Amino acid sequence: MLWPKLVCFALVALAFGQLYQVASEESIAVCPTNFTQLADKCYLLDDSWKNFYESDRHCRSLNAGLLSIKNAIELKALNDWLPVVAPYQPEYWTSGNKLGQTGNDYYWQSTGEQALFLPWATGQPTPASGDCLSFLASVSMTPEGTTLSAHRLSVRNCTKWAAHICEAPLQYFKTQLCLNTTAFFEAKVPV
């Protein structure tokens, strides 16, 4: 009695398998909603002022982490982007800190990795001023207007208030255009 049911199931599966054919397939990388892609990461600028802990909690609520800067490419991408999206915002929290550390080593809380690329602002680091790292630009006021220098890292007290930048990894999907005899549809499959 089981044998006819298996044959019937196999024939139905075969028929449906031939009705839907993948016409094309490509891989894409996208950012979460409201995030902007720069280099190989996704960023969300939040200009509401919070302390380091509140900023970290906010980013985590978005399945992201506070900003971490791995190399000069990321630093340049951020310094090119910030004057466009927030031309008058001088300071942002990063995930860099030395909380719980007795030495002068800083870690990116968002990744757990030691911060090896540290593009310091002039006169930094000053460990006596705190345990957390902010991304700070110098403000210059002239008769022509206000300008900001490139953002660099600065040591700050973790309870000070600043805006923050959340980062998330790119999300990779494989898109397939599927066809059957009467219609087509596109499916995104996480990789």
Q: Is residue 9 part of a domain?
A: no
- Could you report the per-residue pLDDT of 118-177, keeping only the tens digit for each? 999 999 998 888 999 999 998 888 888 878 899 999 999 999 999 999 999 999 888 766
Is the per-residue pLDDT at 7 higher than 70?
no
Number of domains in the chain: 1
What residues are paired with 30 via a beta bridge?
Answer: 171
End-to-end alpha-carbon separation of the chain, Å? Answer: 41
Q: Is residue 141 part of a domain?
A: yes
Q: Is residue 110 part of a domain?
A: yes
Q: Which domain holds residue 42?
A: 34-169
CA–CA separation, 38 and 48 (whole Å): 21
Q: Is residue 15 part of a domain?
A: no
pTM: 0.77
Q: Is residue 28 part of a domain?
A: no
What is the reported pLDDT for 148? 84
- The mean predicted confidence, pLDDT, of the chain is 85
Q: 86, 145 in Cβ contact below 8 A? A: no
The larger pLDDT score, comparing residue 50 to residue 129, is at: 50
Q: CATH number of the domain at 54, please.
A: 3.10.100.10
Q: Is residue 124 part of a domain?
A: yes
What is the reported pLDDT for 142? 81
Neighbours of 189 (CB within 10 A): 11
